[in-house]
């Protein structure tokens, strides 16, 4: 068996889009709790852009190759067996099985070694491309809603960046689990319309044209929303979140696309007056046990709805992996609605 494979590499270890290229690299060797997957497709995420530029704190167990979500077929197991009987709640995994999953890194490659506990059998109803765009985004949304903010039926929720992949998942989860109201923000009218008409949000607000916090208060009769899931972080968004959050509400911060600094003077008394909670969270730095629980929740809660079409898996663009530079550029331009996927022949 060949000891090398092709993978997307970064010239100089970090750099701009132009630094991405396909090179021959050592083929990963799975440990006794891992499977080796022949990758069919992989999903792109904004963390990939940051990692490419050297700004993302990669967990120590992650390979240097980009990418955390993929679909493909099981090539082998680290223990040398043909079957693995601890593949989570879906039962036995076998060589040749079609799967998708979440990894700490390494998905931009012909092969990836990944924990068997993070694999899910690919439903026949879904394509390789659809499955490659599920793990990171839907598990992140699940984590933010249920584990971090403690969402329950009857609570209201706001998803920033409403046409981003995580919010596309989160809005649908919120609607399906009977939120009292689901709101979104975006920076384009087209994306706001998409969040309402396609995903089922009650209303969406253009942050470039409206004071969205004031609109939220109007829409909730002055109460505000119980949960805010935010990827923007700094800039005016932080302060507006505090205006829009309801008493005893939870603000979940998942990213800092707007920077890490709060402008002007910040009065912390709002936390006391509103008894609200601000919590930062991430997924990639979590241990395998934590991620495995989320994987099980995805299988139990969302997978049936993927199969019957109740949940929409929105893909904006599919490109061959030879065009990975173009794929990164699409994400950087902030014009996509849904996932960008690369396929490997």
CB atoms inside a 10 Å sphere around CB 154? 10
Whether residue 88 is predicted with pLDDT greater than 80 in this model: the reply is no
Give the separation between CA 251 and CA 278, rounded to whole angstroms: 5
CATH homologous superfamily of domain 139-280?
Answer: NAD(P)-binding Rossmann-like Domain (3.40.50.720)
The arithmetic mean of pLDDT across residues 279-298, rounded, is: 90
Strand partners, 70: 42, 101
91 pLDDT more than 90: no
Question: For residue range 2-45, what is the model confidence (pLDDT) as tens digits?
Answer: 799 999 999 999 999 999 999 999 999 999 999 999 999 999 99
3-state secondary structure of 203: strand
User: Which pLDDT band holds residue 57 (cuts at 50, 70, 90)?
Assistant: confident
| 247 has a pLDDT exceeding 90 | yes
Residue 99: which of 121, 115, 127 has the closest Cα? 121
pLDDT tens by residue, 129-156: 999 999 999 999 999 999 999 999 999 9
Spell out the domain ranges in the chain: 4-134+286-343, 139-280
User: ∠ CA 57-58-59 to the nearest 5 degrees?
Assistant: 115
Predicted confidence at residue 90, as pLDDT, reads 61
Separation of alpha carbons 279 and 254, rounded Å: 9
Answer whether 331's CB lies under 8 Å from 340's CB.
yes
CATH code of the region 4-134+286-343:
3.90.180.10
Three-class DSSP category at 212 = helix
How many Cα atoms occupy the beta-carbon half-sphere of 259 within 13 Å?
A: 7
User: CA 36 to CA 116: how far, in whole Å?
Assistant: 9
Q: Which of helix, strand or coil describes residue 116?
A: helix
70's enclosing H/E stretch is strand 69-77
Stated pTM of the model: 0.93
Q: Which two tokens stand for residue 212?
A: 């969205």
Predicted pLDDT of residue 1 = 61
What distance in Å separates the CA atoms of residue 88 and residue 256, rounded to the nearest whole number? Answer: 33
Length of the chain: 345
In 3-state terms, the chain is what percent helix, strand and coil (to 5)? 30, 30, 40
Tell me: pLDDT of 235 over 90: no
> Cβ contacts of residue 246 below 8 Å, gap of 6+?
156, 220, 223, 224, 225, 226, 274, 276
Structure tokens at 220: 């909730």
Q: Supply the pLDDT for residue 288.
A: 87
Which structure tokens are listed for 308?
């019957």
**Contact (Cβ atoms closer than 8 angstroms) between residue 325 and residue 17:** yes
> Percentage of residues in the chain with pLDDT exceeding 90?
83
pLDDT band at residue 85 using 50, 70 and 90 as cut-offs: low
Mean pLDDT confidence for 95-99: 96
Other residues' Cβ atoms within 10 Å of the Cβ of residue 208? 11
Per-residue pLDDT reduced to its tens digit, 193-212: 999 999 999 999 999 999 99
3-class SS of residue 247? strand
| DSSP string for residues in 119-187 | EEEPPTTS-HHHHHTSHHHHHHHHIIIIIIS---TT-EEEESSTTSHHHHHHHHHHHHTT-SEEEEEES
Domains 4-134+286-343 and 139-280 share a fold: no
Q: 4 to each of 38, 63, 134, 306, how far by Cα in Å?
A: 13, 15, 28, 35
**Axis-axis angle for helices 135-142, 165-176 (nearest 10):** 50
Specify the pLDDT at position 89: 57
């Amino acid at each position: 068996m060949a000891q090398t494979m092709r993978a997307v590499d970064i010239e100089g270890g970090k750099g701009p889009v132009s630094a991405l290229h396909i090179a021959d690299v050592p083929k990963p060797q799975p440990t006794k709790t891992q499977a080796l997957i022949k990758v069919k497709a992989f999903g792109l995420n904004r963390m990939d852009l940051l990692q490419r530029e050297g700004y993302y704190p990669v967990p120590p167990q992650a390979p240097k190759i980009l990418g955390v979500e993929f679909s493909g077929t099981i090539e082998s197991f680290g223990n040398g067996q043909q079957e693995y009987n601890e593949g989570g709640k879906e039962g036995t995994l076998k060589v040749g099985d079609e799967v998708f999953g979440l990894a700490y890194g390494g998905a931009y490659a012909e092969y990836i070694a990944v924990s068997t506990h993070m694999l899910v059998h690919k439903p026949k109803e879904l394509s390789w491309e659809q499955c490659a765009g599920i793990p990171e985004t839907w598990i992140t949304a699940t984590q933010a809603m249920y584990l971090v903010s403690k969402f329950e039926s009857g609570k209201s929720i706001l998803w920033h960046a409403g046409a981003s992949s995580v919010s596309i998942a989160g809005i649908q989860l919120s609607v399906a689990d009977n939120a009292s109201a689901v709101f979104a923000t975006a920076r384009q009218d087209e994306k706001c319309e998409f969040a309402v008409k396609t995903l089922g949000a009650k209303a969406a607000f253009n942050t470039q044209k409206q004071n969205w916090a004031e609109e939220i208060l109007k829409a909730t009769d002055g109460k505000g929303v119980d949960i805010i899931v935010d990827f923007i972080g700094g800039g005016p968004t932080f302060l507006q979140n505090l205006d829009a959050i309801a008493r005893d509400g939870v603000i979940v911060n998942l990213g800092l696309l707007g920077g890490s600094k709060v402008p002007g003077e910040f009065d912390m008394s709002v936390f006391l007056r509103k008894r609200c909670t601000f919590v930062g969270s991430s997924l990639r730095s979590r241990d395998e046990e934590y991620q495995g629980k989320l994987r099980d929740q995805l299988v139990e809660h969302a997978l049936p709805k993927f199969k019957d079409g109740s949940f929409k898996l929105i893909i904006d663009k599919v490109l061959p992996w030879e065009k990975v530079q173009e794929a990164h550029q699409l994400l950087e331009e902030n014009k996509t609605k849904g996932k960008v996927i690369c396929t490997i022949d």
